[in-house]
């Protein structure tokens, strides 16, 4: 158990230095190059975009970029090793000579910008995704077509710099946009289509929220489908608003499917890319900085690509690193060091590389990241065989729940080097899921409050058949629409359905008794008798043979110091953890938001409890063990054609508060893993060296001398 990770890491590093592992610390040296001609990674599904080494660069062209040197633009993409370029085609501005009445043509353009770029990029072997944005229309046309427009709760349209918001249920998005698509797709040989600002857009670029659309189209459609009056306020306690949320999803999905089918009929080879799961091939997401006081989410790239790879076998992630600092500061770049980490999160999870700029690579005012972009994209190009036809090697599946709980779980899993997949709850059991729940040794359900009856039954069946379930927070207490049912519906948890809510309160703890420590593991809690619990808690009662641990100590006095104490009479019977055996499997229920607590404070006590639940009580399997620093994120992927496997290491050091500086080299990381087949050679791809190793009883062990920004440990089989 790694409850004292930092101390363990320090001791192991000392042992390495003194050759305490029973062998000399291996040294690396320049070795012969791989014979890549004999390496056959195979193909996942024959497509150019799914589980393949894609390197995408998106250029959000401004109107004045129509005056660019197109040869220089194309050469910058060649220099950056791009395989795909995304560029503006139509919608807000047409960068080609459109003949349609309500399609605003770029006034700076002379000739045909789109035609010129598509022809020249294709000549260099670079694919092109055409970018469209139907969320807004030029104010001249908006005045002629008011029934196409979004109407805020103020009764007003939204005009931002001469561009007026349209409504998803209006004629522009429902009909006229298809005329624009038809004109462009039939005229140019695109390889894919991307849509920006899709769905119900209710805020402008300044972040001002204008409310639920009140246009006639929305009012009529909502009433026709539900018999209800369109709400004017977002309130999850209002059943009408919950019904409106369902309405939004079903109508948006309907349009996405309709659009995807329309595109495929025009050209079945076109890939559809946007910020939705419905009707698309590439699911768009963004790793970006915002104008807030929050620190950047280091695991953003990993988070976004794992979610897609763990949920769909027929879709691929398209997680883009947004280069600019924030929307109000589009001409200044964010930290190059967080950008590096975000792109590495894509690459070392086997996902496409994706990068976005306003303008072009040539005309950036802040060019600090461009050499890093060329370096990472160049590395990917040089070794692209190893990014082909991959699958994750994971024993844990994480169901995506409430954001802070989910992020805290990602931090815990990453810092403890537990290999995991992320799964969208709605995809569990679907035909397009990469694998069934039964393929995982353990499933984490982090505060997934909204659950259908089908999902609760699937999770219970998973445990019944031998699975292990770690559940936190309010999981299963609402139906799939968010309607509160106020019952714990997962039968496998070993608690009665009814509970009392203990609301989040200051100076509240969980007491860890000596008896608790015998089950949780004495080492991890040797010097820890109380655990901070600043969270809502479900005061539930164990049922059957389920065992409860930890006891709630609520709202103790914290001032003045003379009064800051509690006595035995203040300790309640409310459990902080319940363990149960259900059928052939096991569960641990933590009826409060453990992940949220760790995301909030990163406390050692919450980490110790998480490890105890997952590894000591549930005894979750692992095929990778390491003394790596928590600042190293690790991934483990294998080629589906059994040609190789590799372990990725991302160095997250260099952050001090809001400052994101260059990572510090981390030395002597021990890695022990169980490969799919016997290994004949290990290579460090970033260092360009071979690595000595031992191989005993199916386990391979080695020491990675250093990790600068990242490393990639490749195993070639015998």
Instruction: Measure Cα distances from 263 to 35, 70, 119, 269, 535 in Å.
Output: 41, 27, 21, 9, 48
Tell me what the mean pLDDT of segment 179-204 comes to.
97
Q: What is the DSSP letter of 297?
A: -
Residue-wise pLDDT tens digits, 13-62: 333 333 333 343 343 334 445 566 689 999 999 999 999 999 999 999 99
Q: pLDDT at residue 578 above 50?
A: yes
Residue-wise pLDDT tens digits, 98-125: 999 999 999 999 999 999 999 999 999 9
Non-local (6+) Cβ contacts of 90 within 8 A are 96, 98, 103, 130, 132, 180, 184
DSSP letters, 399-415, are: E--SHHHHHHHHHHHHH
Q: pLDDT at residue 1 above 60?
A: no
Place of tokens 């994209």: 377
Where residue 688 falls among pLDDT bands split at 50, 70, 90?
very high
Q: pLDDT at residue 10 above 90?
A: no
In terms of Cα–Cα distance, which of 529, 489, 488, 534 is closest to 508?
534
Residue-wise pLDDT tens digits, 475-490: 999 999 999 999 999 9
What distance in Å separates the CA atoms of residue 245 and residue 273, rounded to the nearest whole number? Answer: 23
Q: pLDDT at residue 405 above 90?
A: yes
DSSP letters, 408-438, are: HHHHHHHHTT--EEEE-GGGTT-TTSSS-GG
CB contact at 8 A, 461 and 580: no
What distance in Å separates the CA atoms of residue 381 and residue 79, rounded to the nearest whole number? Answer: 11
pLDDT of residue 33: 53
Q: pLDDT at residue 12 above 60?
A: no
pLDDT of residue 36: 62
Residue-wise pLDDT tens digits, 362-402: 999 999 999 999 999 999 999 999 999 999 999 999 999 99
Q: Characterize 618-639 residue by residue with b for buried, 16 or more Cβ atoms within 10 angstroms of its Cβ, and e for exposed.
A: bebebbbebbbbbbbbbbbbbb
Residue-wise pLDDT tens digits, 625-683: 999 999 999 999 999 999 999 999 999 999 998 899 999 999 999 999 999 999 999 99
pTM for the model: 0.94
pLDDT of residue 34: 53
CB contact at 8 A, 58 and 355: yes
* Region of residue 551 (left: phi > 0; alpha: psi -120 to 50; beta: else): beta
CB contact at 8 A, 41 and 51: no
* DSSP-based three-state secondary structure for 138: strand
What distance in Å separates the CA atoms of residue 464 and residue 460, rounded to the nearest whole number? Answer: 6
CB contact at 8 A, 94 and 106: yes
Name the strands in the sheet holding 644-651, side by side, starting at the edge strand that comes first in the sequence: 29-30, 689-690, 679-684, 710-717, 644-651, 632-639, 390-392
Strands (E), 342-411: 353-358, 390-392, 396-399
Q: Residue 239: is it exposed, middle or buried by C-beta count within 10 angstroms (0-12/13-18/19+)?
A: middle
Token readout for 664 is: 């510090």
Residue-wise pLDDT tens digits, 331-352: 999 999 999 999 999 999 999 9
Where residue 499 falls among pLDDT bands split at 50, 70, 90?
very high
Where residue 218 falls among pLDDT bands split at 50, 70, 90?
very high
Please give, one letter per residue, the 3-state secondary structure of 72-85: HHHHHHHHCCCCEE
């Amino acid at each position: 158990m790694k409850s004292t990770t930092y101390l363990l890491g320090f001791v192991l590093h000392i042992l390495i230095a003194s050759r305490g592992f029973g062998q000399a610390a291996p040294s690396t040296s320049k070795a012969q190059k791989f014979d890549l001609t004999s390496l056959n990674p195979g193909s996942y599904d024959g497509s150019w975009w799914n589980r393949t080494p894609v390197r995408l660069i998106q250029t959000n062209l401004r109107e004045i970029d129509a005056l660019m040197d197109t040869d220089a633009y194309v050469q910058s993409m060649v220099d950056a090793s791009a395989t795909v370029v995304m560029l503006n085609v139509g919608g807000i501005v047409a960068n080609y000579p459109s003949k349609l009445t309500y399609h605003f043509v770029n006034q700076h353009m002379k000739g045909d910008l789109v035609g010129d770029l598509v022809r020249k990029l294709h000549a260099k072997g670079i694919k092109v995704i055409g970018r469209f944005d139907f969320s807004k229309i030029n104010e001249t046309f908006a005045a002629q077509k008011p029934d196409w427009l979004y109407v805020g709760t103020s009764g007003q349209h939204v005009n931002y710099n001469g561009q007026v918001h349209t409504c998803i249920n209006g004629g522009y998005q429902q009909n006229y946009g298809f005329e624009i698509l038809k004109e462009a797709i039939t005229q140019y040989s695109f390889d894919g289509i991307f849509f920006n600002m899709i769905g119900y857009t209710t805020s402008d670029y300044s972040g001002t929220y204008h409310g639920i659309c009140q246009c006639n189209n929305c009012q009529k459609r909502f009433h026709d489908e539900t018999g209800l009056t369109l709400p004017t306020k977002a309130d999850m306690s209002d059943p009408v608003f919950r019904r409106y949320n369902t309405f939004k999803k079903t109508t948006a999905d309907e349009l996405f499917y309709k659009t995807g089918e329309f595109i495929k009929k025009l050209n079945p080879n076109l890939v559809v890319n946007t910020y939705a799961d419905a009707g698309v091939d590439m699911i768009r997401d963004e790793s970006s900085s915002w104008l807030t006081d929050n620190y950047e989410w280091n695991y953003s790239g990993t988070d976004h690509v794992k979610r897609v790879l763990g949920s769909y076998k027929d879709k691929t992630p398209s997680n883009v690193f947004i280069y600019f600092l924030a929307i109000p500061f589009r001409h200044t770049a964010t930290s190059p060091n967080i950008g590096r980490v975000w792109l590495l999160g894509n690459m070392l999870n086997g996902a496409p590389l994706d990068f976005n700029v306003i303008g072009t690579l040539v005309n950036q005012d802040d060019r600090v990241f461009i050499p890093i972009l060329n370096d990472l994209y160049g590395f990917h190009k040089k070794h692209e065989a190893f990014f082909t036809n991959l699958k994750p090697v994971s024993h844990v599946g994480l169901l995506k729940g409430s954001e802070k709980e989910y992020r805290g779980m990602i931090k815990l899993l990453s810092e403890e080097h537990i290999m995991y997949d992320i799964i969208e709850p709605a995809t569990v059991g679907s035909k397009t899921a990469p694998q069934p729940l039964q393929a995982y040794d353990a499933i984490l359900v982090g505060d997934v409050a909204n659950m259908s009856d089908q999902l609760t039954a699937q999770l219970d069946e998973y445990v019944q058949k031998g699975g292990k379930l770690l559940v936190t927070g309010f999981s299963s207490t609402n139906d799939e629409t968010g309607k509160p049912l106020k019952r714990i519906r997962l039968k496998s948890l070993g608690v009665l359905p009814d509970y009392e809510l203990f609301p989040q309160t200051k100076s509240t703890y969980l007491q860890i008794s000596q008896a608790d420590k015998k089950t949780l593991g004495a080492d991890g809690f040797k010097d820890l008798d109380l655990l901070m619990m600043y969270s809502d808690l479900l005061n539930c009662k164990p049922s059957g043979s389920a065992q409860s641990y930890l006891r709630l100590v609520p709202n103790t006095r914290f001032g003045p110091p003379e009064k800051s104490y509690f006595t035995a009479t203040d300790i309640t019977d409310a459990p902080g953890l319940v363990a149960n055996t259900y059928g052939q499997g096991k569960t641990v229920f933590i009826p409060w938001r453990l992940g949220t607590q760790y995301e909030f404070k990163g406390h050692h006590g919450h980490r110790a409890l998480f490890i105890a639940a997952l590894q000591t009580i549930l005894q979750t399997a692992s095929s990778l063990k390491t003394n790596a620093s928590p600042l190293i994120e690790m991934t483990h992927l294998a080629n589906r054609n059994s040609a190789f496997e590799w372990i990725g290491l991302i160095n997250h050091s260099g952050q001090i508060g809001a400052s994101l500086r260059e990572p510090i080299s981390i030395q002597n990381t021990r890695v022990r893993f169980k490969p799919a087949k016997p290994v004949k050679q290990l290579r460090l791809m970033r260092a360009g060296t071979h690595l000595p190793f031992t191989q005993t009883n199916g386990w391979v062990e080695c020491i990675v001398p250093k990790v600068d920004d990242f490393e990639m440990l490749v195993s070639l089989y015998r």
